[in-house]
Chain A
Amino acid sequence: MNLPEETRALIDAFLGGCATPEQQAKLDRMLAADPEVRAAYCNAVEADALLAAWAANRKEAEAAQAVLQDVERDSTPARTASDGVPSPLRIHQSPFRFRPTLTLAAAAAVLMAVGVLAYRFSTRQGGEGPATLIRTTDAQWTRSPARAGDALAPGQRLALTHGTAEIAFSGQAKVLLTAPAELEIVDAGACRLASGKLTAHVPQPARGFKVHTPDGTVTDLGTDFGVLVSLAGAAANIAQQSPSTANTEVHVFRGEVEVASLAGAATAKIPAPQPHKLTAGQAATLTAREFKPLPAADPFRFAIDQLTGQPRQVLLAEDFESLGAGADGPHLGEWKTAYNSGQGRKVIVIDPADPARADTMVDPLPPVGHSAVEFRCSQRIVKSLYPLLSRNLEAKFPARCKLLVECDILPRTRGVEPAIALNADKPLRLAPGIALSREADPAAPQIEWRKDQWYRLRVVWDMEGGAPQGATVERLVWYGTEGWVRDVSVRLPSPKHLAGPLTHVCFGFPAPIAGQAGGTYWLDNVQIEVLTEK
């Protein structure tokens, strides 16, 4: 470098975060004026970014190695090995030859960030026969275990007690079965769900694919949908909240289905009842007697891990809607599509000494961009605030906001296997300066972190009225041996940082939905689940 020592020092000070305002201004001037300084600066910055990337990859590699060693050590022969790679992001082949790269993280960040929701069904097609078992994840079967690649015969029954299984029908429909479930293959275009949960993806060529249930038949008209059959007393996953009287539920995520109840077959005198149509976003329960619409399709309950296809073990699920949504519900924000020049941004002021009072002030600053979000804190939420951690009272809210969930590590007191504690003493904090807390509920499950484990933290934001037009944001988190959980957006283990007693998980608040005049975001669900290691 031909630069004078002083200039180099200036660049280094700035990159080290040590430059004074005067030094910054000087650097600014030099960068604008002198191409050599610019070149040197850009070189330094490139190196800095590269080293940061190198460090991140290194830790991923170390952690991945640790995971692989665990996997190899704890191999359980009773389980069917995961075939195929469910994640669309795994670009390299064998997991046992991990090469640290930048690419996985980048790809994952992109796809995660854009919220790719379509389940990545495997591209392998079945062989002959009406159906083929394409892929399983952590699957356990009651009777003869089926393995990925097995052709399935008409009439064949599959009873899955653990994990998931993906089945491709030769008519091109694909079905994901989530344990516990029992499925019978009828033919290339139909199956029968005796119990459990399935998610179906039916492309146009397979239109007409049928799922028979004890209560009726769902005929697909080119869709993605989910069917849930719960028998009395059948165990379901913790997040499931099916009303006790419903037997079959159908939720449509994309496209259209036709639902025909078994309520009375046609006789000579009485025609069969008209089948009902459900379109995307709709759901219904179906008993032999009655077709009853549900408020909305709930991808939350059917969603499999969008990235990995892993079964979900839910540790904690908070349904804020059921805590009494409505005028006083956990109302987190309002948004508008545009600000007129006469409007400013609103500022919420919270006084820690008197958190029951939350004022909104109009900020005289001009609006930013064409859309912005304003937040309002309902009285009820503010009242349940615990001492705020934020030092700054005035919160100027941008178009995006972060939701922080702070959790304490609790000692294992209840002997309950892996767990997480959403401590009521620590509010859900919206940065900066505002927090949301649920009332302390002694009946709520207390769980604790299990170390060296992946978790997913998922927050669902719903629009007013519960219509699923809101957004779901997710973070995969790793609780490492040092105790720090780091926000990552890849399926692979994350860097482990120094220990801290708290766990921070950050979500971006979803952007306003274009074309809508305005609305209210409600915090709908918070869920924490364990990702099985693979």
Chain B
Amino acid sequence: MKAISPMPDQADFLRLFMAHQGEIRAFVRALLADPNDVDDVCQEIATILWKKFDQYDPSRRFGAWARGVAVHEIDHFRRQAHRRPIPFSLETIEAIRGEFDRREPQPTSRLLEYIEQCLRRLTDRARQMFSLRYERGSSVAEIAREVQSAEPAVYKALGRYRDQVRRCAQQSLAREREAQK
């Protein structure tokens, strides 16, 4: 079954975009208080990135360029009706952007596979909370009701488990890289 190849610059764009999609998503998440908005904004950003792709300077890092667009789009987004303002000052936004710029792009699909494995090492409770939070999209308040806990206990637990998974995935990735040398 042969896949249809898109036009050449579309292929370039898709390749770059997909390689950085996780990074862009994380950056947007860093600036938006409501995770439900992340999808919408990411889609907007994707559109704009594509539209402006002819202006992209390949000598520049795609992630950095994309984050510039993202900041603009987030600003645009938050000015819409009923959007809460971004909780962070311009200075903070720029600082976060700098932090992302410093980081190496992550191989998202590899990480996702490792996450699958790492999740199996968690307790049932941890998996349950992740399922509620990420698969069902429940709020912390809803999770708290469901697991009969206080909200702070829930968000701290989520943070702890998130951290565990992250470290586990990073370690797996590091091991993989070592093995490849």
Contacts and interface: CB of A to CB of B under 8 A. Distances in A.
Given A45-B30, A103-B109, A110-B14, A55 B135 contact: yes
Interface string B1-26: 11111100010011001100110011
Interface string A1-42: 100000011011111111100001101100110010011011
A253 to B, nearest CB: 18
Nearest to A45: B30
B2 A101 contact: no
B68 interface: no
Contacts, number: 218
Nearest to A5: B156
A13 B112 contact: no
A13 B155 contact: yes
B143 to A, nearest CB: 9
A301 interface: no
A419 B57 CA distance: 49
A107 interface: yes
Interface string A455-495: 00000000000000000000000000000000001000001
Given A9-B152, A497-B137, A51 B130 contact: yes
Nearest to B130: A51
Given A18-B155, A38-B99, A42-B96, A54 B4 contact: no
A498 interface: yes
B6 A18 contact: no
- Chain B interface mostly helix, strand, loop or mixed? helix
A124 B154 CA distance: 55
Contacts of B165: 47, 51
A120 interface: yes
Given A51-B130, A122-B4, A114 B50 contact: yes
B21 A39 contact: no
A147 to B, nearest CB: 15
Nearest to B112: A54
Contacts of A50: 22, 26, 108, 111-112, 115, 166, 169
Contact of A12 (B5, B46, B158): B158
B112 to A, nearest CB: 5
A57 B155 contact: no
Interface in B129-161: 130-131, 133-137, 139-141, 151-152, 154-156, 158-159
A59 B4 contact: no
A31 B35 CA distance: 19
Contacts of A361: none
B54 to A, nearest CB: 13
Contact of A32 (B1, B95, B152): B95
B155 A15 contact: yes
A114 B51 contact: yes
B109 A31 contact: no
B43 interface: yes
Nearest to B14: A107
Contacts of B99: 35, 38-39, 42
A123 interface: yes
A90 interface: yes
A110 B46 contact: yes
Nearest to B91: A32
Contacts of B82: 392, 432
Tier of interface size on chain A? 35 or more
A424 interface: no
A204 B176 CA distance: 50
Contacts of A432: 81-82
Contacts of B47: 110, 113-114
B26 A42 contact: yes
Interface string A80-106: 000111111011011000001111001
Interface in B32-85: 33-35, 38, 42-44, 46-47, 49-51, 76, 79-82
B168 to A, nearest CB: 10
Contacts of B108: 50, 53, 102
A400 interface: yes
B3 A85 contact: yes
A233 interface: no
Interface centre among A54, A102, A369, A392 (most CB of B within 10 A): A54
A102 B87 contact: no
Contacts of A49: 22, 25-26, 29, 38
Contact of B81 (A13, A122, A395): A395
Nearest to A30: B92
Nearest to A400: B80
B33 A102 contact: no
Contacts of A9: 152, 155-156, 159
Interface in A422-437: 431-432
A57 B112 contact: yes
Interface in A187-214: none
Closest 4 CB pairs of A and B: A16-B155, A12-B159, A55-B134, A398-B80
Given A19-B33, A38-B99, A103-B18, 11 more contacts: A9-B152, A16-B151, A18-B155, A25-B87, A45-B27, A45-B29, A52-B38, A53-B112, A57-B112, A59-B135, A398-B79
29 contacts: A1-B163, A15-B155, A16-B154, A24-B33, A28-B88, A28-B92, A31-B95, A42-B30, A42-B96, A42-B100, A43-B166, A44-B162, A45-B27, A48-B26, A50-B22, A50-B111, A50-B115, A51-B162, A52-B29, A86-B4, A87-B4, A106-B14, A106-B21, A110-B14, A110-B50, A114-B50, A114-B51, A123-B2, A398-B79
